[in-house]
Amino acid sequence: MKKIINDPKQVVEEMLQGMVKSYPDYLKRIPETGVVYRTDLAKIAGKVGIVSGGGSGHEPAHAGFVGAGMLSAAVCGEVFTSPTPDQIFEAIKQVNSGAGVFLVIKNYSGDVMNFEMAQDMAEMEEIPVKSIVVDDVAVENSTYTQGRRGVAGTILMHKILGAAADQGASLDEIADLATAVLPNLKTVAVALSGATVPEVGKPGFVLADDEIEYGVGIHGEPGYRREKLQPSKKLANELIEKLRSEFRFRKGDAVAVLVNGMGATPLMEQYVFMNDVLDQLAEEGLRVRFSKVGNLMTSLDMAGVSLTILKIKDDWVDKLNYATHTIAW
């Protein structure tokens, strides 16, 4: 294992220290916790707070999306481990300014359980809280998940709900918006190599030099098929076909497209892949109204990409383009 770290047990603590020191105009931290929140919280007084989080190792998610127009706070657990309910509760209390708090949860059993427990704790303190659980389309069930798994599409949920909150939407309106977005938001990934957790010291799974795996999760959960490495155009076609089986694309549909790097894949390759995706979607007559490429929800040093497609409705494009002041968007 080659990593630029000190003590594997202190990776998350030292990462959080470095992040907050690096971006004091963006982030503050609740001492002795994994909670980071936007420095300018006073600007959202009377507005709904948006909180997300999960295990670390997926940077820039989730702390990189804390700021104006996106998340009010993020809760960072240990590597690939859900944050505890009490830390999530601290985040809820920190960002509640009277209008309530909305939680964006990725579909992992630990995250779902702990965020829901924190929601119950907040409601006992008479803080109104609502939530949404976001998942992918790779497999019906997989290791450590309650069905399908939370992946990079979650970031587009952050963006849309964060814009709505900044514009003054109520907690009920944000909950309705999240419910409308969820069935139109689909993601699937392909991996070229596994991720190495610092405290484990070896990859979570191993692929041969000429192997790839479709549908892996961001913690290395199994996908739906392994095969020999294919050219980018064939990878794009495979992932689009997988999404098509969920979406039933129609000519003329408006979509947003996100290509997300899993951590070790250069931007050069991500742009090659996005080029193939956009060409194929154009051939099918889909109207791409928004597109983004980059490392947004990674899996440590995993090589690979995920593809997210969001079928656009209403004013969602405006919310995706809404002004944002965060480290990573």
**How does 121-137 read in b/e, with b if 16+ C-beta sit within 10 Å?**
bbeeeebbbbbbbbbbb
Residues 6+ apart with CB under 8 A from 17: none
- Cα–Cα dist 322/50, whole Å: 16
Using a 10 angstrom Cβ sphere, with 0-12 exposed, 13-18 middle and 19 or more buried, the burial of residue 245 is exposed
- What is the number of residues in the chain? 329
Write the burial class of residue 159 (CB in 10 Å: 0-12 exposed, 13-18 middle, 19+ buried): buried
**What tokens appear for 282 in the block?**
């154009």
Contact 78, 197 (CB under 8 A): no
Active site residue 62: no
Does residue 198 have a cis bond before it (omega within 30 degrees)?
Answer: no
Helical residues (DSSP H) of the chain, grouped into ranges: 11-22, 85-95, 109-124, 153-166, 171-181, 232-247, 267-283, 316-320
CA distances (Å), 47 to each of 42, 81, 97, 100, in order?
10, 30, 7, 8
d(CA 92, CA 97): 10
Distance CA 174, CA 23 (A): 28
**End-to-end distance of the chain based on CA atoms, in angstroms?**
30
> Rounded CA gap, 121 and 91, in Å?
12
Catalytic annotation present for 325: no
**Catalytic-role residue among 62, 158, 219, 325:** 219
Question: Where in the sequence numbering do the catalytic residues fall?
Answer: 58, 219
